[in-house]
Structure 1
Amino acid sequence: MKNMKLNDAIYGNLLEKNYEKGLSLGNRYSFINSNIFPLLNKEERDTFMGFQDVCKKLAPQVNIEDAYEILPKLGEHYMLQRMNTYEGIYGSCKTQMLLNLAVGGMAPEVDMSMSASSILVGNSLYHNPKRSDIQEKALHAIYRGTKIGGIGITEPEHGSDAVNMKTLASIADNGDVTYNGTKIYTTNGAVADYFSTYGVLDVSNPRRTMMLSLFKREDEGLSTERLHIPAAHGVGIAKVNYDNVTVPKDRMIAPPGEGYKRLFRGLTPERFTIISSSLGSLWHALATGTIYTQLRHQFNKPLFKYQGISHVLADIYAQLSAYTSFAMQIADFYDKRVGSKIHKGETPDPMDEATLAVSAAQGKYLATKMAHKATYEIVQVMGGRGAINEPGSNNIINRLENLSRLSEVLGGHRNIQLMIVEMGLKATTAMAIGSNIKKAKREQKKVNAKLNDLYIARAEKIITEESQYLPESDKLNLQNAINKLKNAAETKNDIEFRAYSSALPKLLSNAGKAIYKAKKN
C-alpha cells in the first residue's frame, strides 16, 4: 500500500473529494467565462483562455506562504503585467483586467504582489520615455519576475495626504540624488530588489519640487522592516527607511516638479488594477459559493434550493455583472484615449485624464466595497467550509475575504475616492447649470451683506449704549471686527470679509453674555 501523506489524510476526512473537484480552478474559470465572454471579442477571449491555461498548470506550484516564488514562471509567459505593450507583447487596460481575473483565481496573494511590482513600479519606469540603462534593466527584470519592485509613496504621518510628504531629497552638483525619510506600508517592500520612491526638495512646496528616483536594496543607508499584516499572509509589506541614501543621476526617473504629475498619472492605472483584482476576487468567490451550495445538501436538498442562500448569491451576481460591464467600458476608454497615447510617448488630453480619474475612483469605490461585503456573505453561506484554509485545497474563499479587507485602503482610501467622485459631480453639474449657480451665489452674497449690516449695527449699538457693562477687551474686539469688516467690504477683500463675517457673530455672543453677567451682579 502506498504511504499516505498527512495532508492526504486530512483531506480524506475533512474535505470531501466531491467538493474539491467541484471547486477546481478549471470549474471556476468555466463559470466566469460564461459570464465574461459576452463582453469580449474573439481575440480577448483567446487571450483570457491563454492566461487560464497557464494558471491551471502553475497552480499546484504556488506557495501561499511566499507569493514571490511563482513570479519568474509567470514572467516567462509575460503574465506579470499586460497594461503596457513591451518587447512586442501587446498591452492594454482591458488585457490587464483579464490577467487579474485569471491570476486572482489561482492565488490572490500572487495577484497582489505582482500588481504592486509590475504595475506600480513598472508603470513608474515605463512612463519615463527617457529611461536610462539601469532603469531599462530594472523594468525588464520586474516584467520578467526575476526582480521585485516596491513603490514608496505612503509615509507614517501621510497616508491619504500623499502630496505633503516629508521624505527629503537633495540633488548634488554632479546630479547625484540623496533621500532621507521613511515610507510605510510598501507592498513588496520586505523582499523588493528595486524601490521606485517619491521625495521632495522642499517640504513646504511639494508640488513644484516632488521627484521620483530608483533605489536598490543594496544601496547604503536603505533598510526595511517587515510589517505583520494578517490579511496579506505571504505578501511582504514593509516599512522602508532612507538614511542618507545616495544614488547616481541615472536613477532619477522624474525630475523635480515632474514627480508630482507622475504621481497622479500613475494613480489611475493603479486603481484600474485594483478594480480588476477586486472583480477577480468577486467572480471567484461567487463561483465558489454557487458551486458549493449546489453540491452541499442539508435536509435532503441542495443549499441553493433555499431562498435564504440563493437570494444572497443572486443579489451579488446582479451587482457584480453591472460593475464588470462598467469596468470594461472605462477600460476601453482608457485604452483608446489615454493608454494608446502613452504607448506612443504622447501626452494624453487633460480632459480625458480627468474623466478617467473620476471613473476609476467610482469603480474602485464600488468594486472594493462590494468585494469585502460579498466575500464575507459567501463565507457565511458556506458555513464551516468557508472558514477552512488548508494548504493545497481548492477552497480559497477565506483568503479572498482576508485580502478584501485591504482593497478599500490600497491605492487611496475609499473616502478619498468619494472626494474625487464629489469633484466630478460638482464639475459636471457646473457645466449643466453654471449660470444658475452663479446667480445663487450672487443672491446669497446679497443676503450675507444684509446680515453683516445687521450685525454691525447691533455691535455699534452695544458699544454705544451698554458700554458700562462691557469689559474693555470685548469693546476693542468688537470695534476691531467692525472696522475690519467695513474695510474688507470697501476694498473687496473676500478673504478678510469671510473671516470677520464669521468672527463678528461670535464676538457679539460673547459680549451679550458679559453684559448679562454684569447686569445680574
Structure 2
Amino acid sequence: MTGFDAYQLPEEHQEIRDAVRSLCEGKVAPNAAHADETGEFPQASYDALRSADFHAPHIPEEYGGAGADALATAIVIEEVARACAASSLIPAVNKLGTMPLLLAGSDELKRRYLAPVARGDGMFSYCLSEPEAGSDAASMTTRAVSDNDHYVINGAKRWITNAGVSEFYTVFAVTAPGERSRGISAFVVEKSDPGVTFGAPEKKLGIKGSPTREVYFDNVRVPADRMIGKPGEGFKIAMRTLDHTRVTIAAQAIGIAQGALDFAKRYVQERRQFGKAIAEFQGIQFMLADMGMKLEAARQLTYAAAGKSERGDADLTYFGAAAKCFASDAAMEITTDAVQLLGGYGYTKDFPLERMMRDAKITQIYEGTNQVQRIVMARELLRG
C-alpha cells in the first residue's frame, strides 16, 4: 500500500456504505418522520437493520456478529443517521453498551451477552450518568455492595439511551466509597432482574424515536461473575469505552449533516426566484461550499479517529474527542444553514431539515459535552 492509498476508502468499506444506504433509503428513512412525531421506537427500522446485520455490526464473528471494524461500523452509523438519527442510535448504543465487555469482560461474559446482541435478541445500553453526576461521572452515588457471591445495586441512572427497550445494561456503581474513580466497578444488569425499573420517557428536542429514560435499581442482586473486569476498574473502563465510542457520535453527526446537505442541494436547484434557480446565486453557492467543506473535514477526521480506534493507538483519546467535537459542531452549523436555504419551508415539518437540525444538537452534548471534549484535547496536548 502506498501512502496515498490511506486517503481512499477501501472497496469493501464502500460496498458496506452502498448496502446500508440502499437499505436505509427503502426501509429506515420512511419511518423517520413518524418516529419523530410520535416518539415511538422505530421497530420497523430495527427489524430492517437486524435483517441485514447492521444493528450491531461491531460484534466479533466468534460471538455470531458481522465482525465489522471500527471504520465499517462508523460508516454504518453514518449512513443510518443520514436517513434517521434516532435509528442510528441502534448500532451506536449497541456498541457503547458492549464496548466495556469487549475491552475488559471475561470470555464467559462475552459469550453470554454478545451472542444475543449479535442475533438481535436484545440491545445493550450504557448506564454512567446520574442526576448529580454528569460531566463529573466520578461523583456517582449508585452503590454496589458485596453480598457473598452477589452484589446488591441501589441507585439511579439518568439520560440512558434506549432504556426500557434494551434487554441488557452496563452499569457503573461505587464498590469502594470514598475512593472516587478508583472505587467504581462495572456490571452487566438485565432488564428482567428484580428491582430494575424505568422512569417516564424524557420529552426531548430531537432523536425522539430513541427512548431516553432514568433507570432505577432497588436492591438489584447481580451475580459477582457479572462484574466487567476487576473491582475498582469501572471508571477506567468507562473512559476507555468513550475513547472508542466518541467516534460513533462523530459518525452520527456527519450522517445527519450529509442528509441535510443532500436535501438542501436538491432544493436550491429546483427552487426558482427572480427567474432562475436559487443555486445560481453566489450567496447560496458560498453557503453550500462552506457546508460541504466542513462536512468533508469532519468526515476525514472521523475516519482517521476510527482507524486509531481499530488499532488502539496511544493518541486515540485526543482523536476521539477531536472527531466528536468537530463533527458535531459542523453538523449543527450545516443543519442550521440547510434550514436557512429552504427559507420558510425549512422551518416547517413538511420538510425534514428542522428535524435534522434538532437531532444534530444532541451530538454536541452526549458522550461528553463539547466543552468537556476541549478539556480532554487540551490535556492531551499539554501532556505531549
TM-score (norm 1): 0.67
Partner in structure 2 of residue 443 of structure 1 = none
Match 1:406 to one of 353, 359, 362: 362
Deviation at 1:333, TM superposition (A): 2.9
Whether contact under 8 Å (1:125, 1:131) holds in the other structure is: no
> For residues 189 and 24 of structure 2, what CA distance do their matches in structure 1 show?
32
> For residues 204 and 319 of structure 1, what CA distance do their matches in structure 2 show?
45
> For residues 314 and 92 of structure 1, what CA distance do their matches in structure 2 show?
31
Q: After superposition, give the CA deviation of every residue in 1:226-247 in whole Å (9 maximum; x if it has no partner).
A: 2211322122101111111112
> For residues 211 and 187 of structure 1, what CA distance do their matches in structure 2 show?
20
Q: Which has the larger helix fraction? A: 1
Partner in structure 1 of residue 27 of structure 2 = 58
Partner in structure 1 of residue 3 of structure 2 = none
Say whether 1:368 aligns with 2:328.
yes
Whether contact under 8 Å (1:132, 1:251) holds in the other structure is: no
Whether contact under 8 Å (1:39, 1:325) holds in the other structure is: no
- Cα–Cα, structure 1 residues 282 and 189, in superposed 2: closer, same or farther, change >3 Å? same
Partner in structure 2 of residue 40 of structure 1 = 9
What is the RMSD computed on CA atoms of the aligned residues?
2.1
Partner in structure 1 of residue 249 of structure 2 = 274
Match 2:295 to one of 309, 315, 320: 320
> For residues 177 and 131 of structure 1, what CA distance do their matches in structure 2 show?
20
Partner in structure 2 of residue 184 of structure 1 = 158
> For residues 192 and 43 of structure 1, what CA distance do their matches in structure 2 show?
30
> For residues 42 and 150 of structure 2, what CA distance do their matches in structure 1 show?
32
Q: Which amino acid is 1:55 matched to?
A: C
Deviation at 1:59, TM superposition (A): 3.0
Q: Which has the larger strand fraction? A: 2
- Cα–Cα, structure 1 residues 177 and 287, in superposed 2: closer, same or farther, change >3 Å? same
> For residues 305 and 57 of structure 1, what CA distance do their matches in structure 2 show?
31
- Cα–Cα, structure 1 residues 46 and 419, in superposed 2: closer, same or farther, change >3 Å? same
- SS of 2:60's equivalent? coil
Aligned counterparts, 1:158-197, within 5 A: 158-173=133-148, 175-197=149-171
- SS of 2:134's equivalent? coil
Q: Which amino acid is 2:273 matched to?
A: Q
Whether contact under 8 Å (1:152, 1:197) holds in the other structure is: yes
Q: Which amino acid is 1:255 matched to?
A: K
Unaligned runs of 5+ in 2: 1-5
Deviation at 1:299, TM superposition (A): 1.8
Match 1:204 to one of 178, 195, 208: 178
Match 2:76 to one of 99, 111, 114: 99
Say whether 1:111 aligns with 2:67.
no
> For residues 255 and 176 of structure 1, what CA distance do their matches in structure 2 show?
14
- Cα–Cα, structure 1 residues 72 and 203, in superposed 2: closer, same or farther, change >3 Å? farther
> For residues 189 and 13 of structure 2, what CA distance do their matches in structure 1 show?
36
Whether contact under 8 Å (2:125, 2:163) holds in the other structure is: yes
> For residues 379 and 355 of structure 2, what CA distance do their matches in structure 1 show?
35
TM-score (norm 2): 0.90
Deviation at 1:61, TM superposition (A): 6.0
Partner in structure 2 of residue 123 of structure 1 = 99
Greater RCO structure (CA 8 Å; 6+ sep): 2
Q: Which amino acid is 2:359 matched to?
A: L
Aligned counterparts, 1:459-498, within 5 A: none
- Cα–Cα, structure 1 residues 410 and 97, in superposed 2: closer, same or farther, change >3 Å? same
- SS of 1:53's equivalent? helix
- In our comparison, the structure showing a higher alpha carbon Rg is 1
- SS of 2:137's equivalent? coil
Size of the aligned set, in residue pairs, is: 370
> For residues 384 and 281 of structure 1, what CA distance do their matches in structure 2 show?
21
Whether contact under 8 Å (1:200, 1:256) holds in the other structure is: no
Say whether 1:265 aligns with 2:225.
no
Deviation at 1:261, TM superposition (A): 2.1
Deviation at 1:84, TM superposition (A): 4.4
Partner in structure 2 of residue 397 of structure 1 = 353
> For residues 256 and 402 of structure 1, what CA distance do their matches in structure 2 show?
40
- SS of 1:191's equivalent? coil
Q: After superposition, give the CA deviation of every residue in 1:65-108 in whole Å (9 maximum; x if it has no partner).
A: 43340213312211023334333623211101210121112211
> For residues 56 and 248 of structure 1, what CA distance do their matches in structure 2 show?
43
Whether contact under 8 Å (2:65, 2:115) holds in the other structure is: no
Whether contact under 8 Å (2:175, 2:232) holds in the other structure is: no
- Cα–Cα, structure 1 residues 383 and 119, in superposed 2: closer, same or farther, change >3 Å? same
Partner in structure 2 of residue 148 of structure 1 = 123
Q: After superposition, give the CA deviation of every residue in 1:254-294 in whole Å (9 maximum; x if it has no partner).
A: 33122122111101111000010111111111111111111
Aligned counterparts, 1:9-20, within 5 A: none
Whether contact under 8 Å (2:28, 2:80) holds in the other structure is: no
- SS of 1:374's equivalent? helix
Unaligned runs of 5+ in 1: 1-36, 339-351, 429-521
Whether contact under 8 Å (2:54, 2:91) holds in the other structure is: no
Partner in structure 2 of residue 247 of structure 1 = 222
- SS of 2:138's equivalent? coil
Q: After superposition, give the CA deviation of every residue in 1:32-91 in whole Å (9 maximum; x if it has no partner).
A: xxxxx9731222212211222222332366352433402133122110233343336232
